[in-house]
């Protein structure tokens, strides 16, 4: 196939996701809900595979890493200690006529992309006041053309309450990041495991943010899954810059080698001093070129000992580590690589999207290990019981070791096209020749070429291809 090298548009990705059961709009029968999506039967397979690969690469295969599954609702003091209650905010402006709300920084970025200034401001570094001034000095309007309010800080934490009385004393938050569950469990993890610094704790779980930006599909949602690592070390023994670089290399390796993403679409961006959180000594974003531009996929920050110190102060409990050899007592420092699983999935879909030059045939060139199904099995004709029965035996045989799908609808060409769109690497067809010599037609997704393989050799052949 001569495939098109043009990157997909976001609309194409959204359409494919819905058509092929990767991602649906949430609550569609009720008119949907902004910034919320469901993962359909193929999406959930892809999501699981990405999570499993992350877990295997960063936790299971490393002797210096442990896993954790902490709660979504933690003690509310956690979020006071972490600074989220006071400063986990986005700059918000309101359309004075429609009362729709927008991120001030995003409106300024969009204005800047259409106007060339001699000295454009670095938007990430602007304070809420700077943004208000810039909006009014340049007469920036809302997307509906109306005047905007002054910018103000809007807290992203979702609040709820425990029990029947919804007052201040029962107020809790849905976690805004999984990281804080790792910090607040640090002491219990050290006490209950034979771990020695440096070591890390990773977890995958849902986080919640009251995001007001719309229109970026699953890139920015109210509810999303994070995969976060807190890697603890003694800054006297370990050079943080070497460790930081090592983690950057691991992130790059995971994305390019394990997920097979095109490195030309990836780049590092270092945070400006003014943009960085005050507790972080250095922060980089690994950015991917999404259909709406270069955006943060994965962040890595050197958070020093800030979080453990804060939790010590707010809980009154010691979170110090005692070195077993020297008996030195200190608060470990931490490097944090934090990624959103949903952003990984969006990247994987965008990177694998290959329409042919006429945009008539679309192939999702997923790595075989990521494809929702590794094999599809078809009887050539559904009204020939001898073909259907033989195909069922092959289907059951392959099911022992692979995720296999079955299709007997319509003509064979349409079945191939439908498997191409969900990224199934191999289709196995049972035809009349099968009945004569026990061979099947195996069709390759990426080249659309076909070859005949004996049923007895099929499992070994697939194993060889799929495990590469």
Q: Residues interacting with ligand GAP, by CB under 6 A?
A: 177, 179, 209, 211, 220-221, 224, 226, 228, 296-299, 336, 338-340, 342-343
Decide whether 224 or 232 has the Cβ nearer to ligand GAP: 224
Residue with tokens 């890139």: 219
* Distance between CA atoms of residues 31 and 301, nearest Å: 39
Decide whether 17 or 441 has the Cβ nearer to ligand GAP: 17
DSSP single-letter state for residue 238: S
Collapsing DSSP to helix, strand or coil, 87 comes out as helix
Q: Where are the alpha helices (DSSP H) in 26-127?
A: 41-55, 77-82, 84-87, 104-114
Decide whether 224 or 353 has the Cβ nearer to ligand GAP: 224
Decide whether 57 or 402 has the Cβ nearer to ligand GAP: 57
- CB contact at 8 A, 363 and 460: no
Decide whether 50 or 362 has the Cβ nearer to ligand GAP: 50
Decide whether 178 or 424 has the Cβ nearer to ligand GAP: 178
> Residue 151 Cβ, how far from ligand GAP at the closest point, in Å?
20
Residues 6+ apart with CB under 8 A from 116: none
Decide whether 209 or 390 has the Cβ nearer to ligand GAP: 209
Residue with tokens 């070129």: 289
Question: Given its phi and psi angles, is residue 35 left (phi above 0), alpha (psi -120 to 50 degrees) or beta?
Answer: left
> Residue 338 Cβ, how far from ligand GAP at the closest point, in Å?
4
> Residue 177 Cβ, how far from ligand GAP at the closest point, in Å?
4
> Residue 179 Cβ, how far from ligand GAP at the closest point, in Å?
4
> Residue 277 Cβ, how far from ligand GAP at the closest point, in Å?
9
- Directed axis angle between helix 385-399 and helix 455-466, to 10°? 40
Q: How many helices (H) and strands (E) does the chain have?
A: 15, 23
CA distances, 332 to each of 56, 62, 237, 307, 325 (Å)? 25, 20, 11, 10, 15
Please give the residue whose beta carbon sits closest to ligand GAP in the complex.
340
> Residue 228 Cβ, how far from ligand GAP at the closest point, in Å?
5
> Residue 32 Cβ, how far from ligand GAP at the closest point, in Å?
17
Beta strands in 246-332 (DSSP E): 266-270, 283-290, 293-304, 321-322, 329-330
């Amino acid at each position: 196939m001569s495939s098109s090298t043009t990157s997909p548009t976001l609309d194409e990705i959204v359409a494919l996701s819905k058509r092929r059961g990767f991602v649906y709009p949430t609550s569609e029968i009720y008119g949907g809900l902004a910034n919320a999506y469901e993962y359909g039967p193929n999406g959930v397979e892809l999501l699981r595979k990405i999570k499993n690969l992350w877990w295997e690469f960063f936790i299971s295969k490393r002797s210096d890493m442990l896993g954790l599954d902490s709660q979504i609702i933690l003690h509310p003091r956690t979020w006071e200690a972490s600074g989220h209650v006071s400063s986990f905010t986005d700059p918000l402006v309101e359309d004075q006529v429609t009362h729709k709300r927008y991120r001030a920084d995003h409106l300024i970025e969009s204005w800047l992309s259409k106007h060339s200034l001699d000295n454009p401001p670095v938007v990430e570094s602007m304070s809420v006041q700077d943004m208000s001034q810039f909006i009014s000095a340049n007469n920036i309007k809302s997307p509906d053309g109306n005047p905007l309010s002054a910018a103000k800080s809007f807290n992203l934490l979702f609040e709820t309450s425990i029990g029947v009385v919804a007052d201040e004393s029962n107020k809790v938050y849905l976690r805004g990041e999984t990281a804080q569950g790792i910090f607040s469990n640090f002491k219990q993890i050290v006490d209950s495991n034979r771990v020695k610094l440096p070591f890390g704790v990773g977890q995958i779980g849902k986080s919640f943010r009251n995001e007001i930006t719309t229109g970026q599909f699953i890139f920015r949602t109210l509810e999303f899954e994070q995969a976060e690592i807190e890697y603890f070390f003694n800054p006297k023994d370990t050079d943080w810059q070497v460790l930081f670089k090592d983690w950057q290399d691991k992130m790059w390796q995971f994305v390019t080698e394990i997920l097979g993403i095109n490195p030309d679409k990836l780049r590092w961006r270092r945070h400006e001093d003014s943009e960085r959180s005050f507790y972080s000594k250095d922060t980089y974003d690994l950015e991917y070129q999404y259909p709406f531009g270069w955006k943060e996929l994965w962040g890595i920050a050197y958070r020093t000992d800030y979080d453990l110190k804060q939790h010590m102060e707010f809980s009154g409990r010691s979170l110090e580590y005692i070195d077993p050899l020297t008996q030195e007592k200190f608060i470990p420092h931490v490097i944090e690589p934090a990624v959103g699983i949903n952003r990984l999935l969006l990247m994987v879909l965008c990177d694998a999207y290959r329409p042919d030059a006429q945009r008539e045939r679309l192939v999702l060139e997923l790595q075989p290990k990521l494809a929702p199904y590794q094999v599809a099995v078809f009887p050539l004709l559904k009204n020939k019981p001898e073909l259907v029965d033989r195909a069922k035996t092959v289907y059951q045989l392959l099911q022992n070791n692979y995720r296999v799908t079955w299709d007997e609808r319509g003509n064979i060409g349409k079945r191939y096209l439908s498997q191409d769109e969900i990224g199934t690497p191999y289709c196995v067809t049972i035809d009349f020749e099968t009945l004569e010599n026990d061979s099947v037609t195996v069709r390759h997704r990426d080249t659309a070429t076909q070859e005949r393989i004996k049923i007895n050799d099929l499992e070994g052949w697939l194993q060889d291809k799929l495990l590469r």
